[in-house]
Amino acid sequence: MDLGVAGKVAFITGGSDGIGKAAATTLAAEGAKVAIIARTQSKLDAAVADIKAESGSDDVIGVSTDVRDESSVKAAIDSVVSKFGGLDILVNNAGTSSASRLEDMTNEQLEEDLRLKVFGAVYCMRNALPHLRKSSGPAVVNTTTPGGKAAAPGSQPTSLSRASGISLTKAWSKEFAAEGIRVNTVCVGVLKSGQHRTRWEAMNAKDSSYSLEDHWASIGANVPMARIGEAREAGDAIAFLCSERASYITGASLNVDGGTSPVV
């Protein structure tokens, strides 16, 4: 399927691994010009090489940016616009999993989660907006989780920040719909990611017989589809929502979670 994104410019935070990298790969393969954003330049450089090799595109760059710092975000967006001539797609994907019960959660843990996932998304949207308004087909996708709709015990602060992301999605979709700027969210469940690999490495160090496949099977055991998801499955959903094929979809949330969410 031709997604109709050829020549579009995409700005993807958290793009050096996992979902962001997968979305970048699909969009690049479809002909989009892609800028992936993360804090560590060496990881960005490695991801850019992978994306170019898999997509066959040379229009992929990595920009070291801390989305918690608005001046850093503005500089990154200005750099991408200067390089590619505009901005059409924004994917707010930066974030990590952080889960705790109320009595164990520190103020620092809460503040860090909100700064990264909520303030980061606001900074990116605020500074991308003037460029999105000039686009012929602007689209924004916020990565959130089903826990933002139905929080489980001990899921804060992530469930709180992801609920904020879902709320921002609906608010922005209504604020900018008349200007043709579509805003949607993909609510992702458990997927193969760098975070889970890091946890496996720690467990494998204690028990060398515990394989990565054992880890994936363990994580996916409680998923209704009986497996953990691939980053590509979320990345493809994001690419679709950014595309002309989703031109009448805005203010929507799409669960990509193997059926885990208790709500639609």
User: 79: domain range?
Assistant: 9-189+231-255
pLDDT value at 1 more than 90:
no
Number of domains comprising the chain: 2
Establish if 153 belongs to a structural domain: yes
- pLDDT tier, 225 (very low <50, low <70, confident <90, very high otherwise): very high
pLDDT value at 195 more than 90:
no
Instruction: Calculate helix-pair angle for 18-29, 231-242, nearest 10 degrees.
Output: 50
What is the per-residue pLDDT across 8-22, written as a single tens digit (0 to 9) for each? 999 999 999 999 999
Is residue 162 located within the same domain as residue 199? no
Question: Residue 178 sits in a domain of what CATH number?
Answer: 3.40.50.720
Establish if 1 belongs to a structural domain: no
Q: Which two tokens stand for residue 182?
A: 């579509």
pLDDT value at 194 more than 90:
no
Q: Which two tokens stand for residue 12?
A: 């993807």
Alpha carbons 35 and 263: distance in angstroms, whole number = 33
Find the mean pLDDT for residues 62-89. Answer: 98
Neighbours of 54 (CB within 10 A): 15
Is residue 127 located within the same domain as residue 223? no
Alpha carbons 148 and 143: distance in angstroms, whole number = 11
Q: How far is CA 78 from the centre of its chain?
A: 20
Is residue 96 located within the same domain as residue 213? no
Mean pLDDT of the chain: 97
Amino acid 16: pLDDT = 97
- pLDDT tier, 118 (very low <50, low <70, confident <90, very high otherwise): very high
The answer to whether 251 and 173 have CB atoms below 8 angstroms apart is: yes
Amino acid 196: pLDDT = 87
Round the CA-based radius of gyration of the chain to a whole number and report it: 18
Is residue 133 located within the same domain as residue 224? no
pTM: 0.96
What is the per-residue pLDDT across 18-41, written as a single tens digit (0 to 9) for each? 999 999 999 999 999 999 999 999
- pLDDT tier, 193 (very low <50, low <70, confident <90, very high otherwise): confident
Find the mean pLDDT for residues 161-175. Answer: 98
What is the per-residue pLDDT across 120-129, written as a single tens digit (0 to 9) for each? 999 999 999 9
pLDDT value at 210 more than 80:
yes
pLDDT value at 77 more than 90:
yes
Dihedral angle computed from the Cα positions of residues 129, 133, 137 and 139, in that order, rounded to the nearest 10 degrees: 20
Establish if 121 belongs to a structural domain: yes
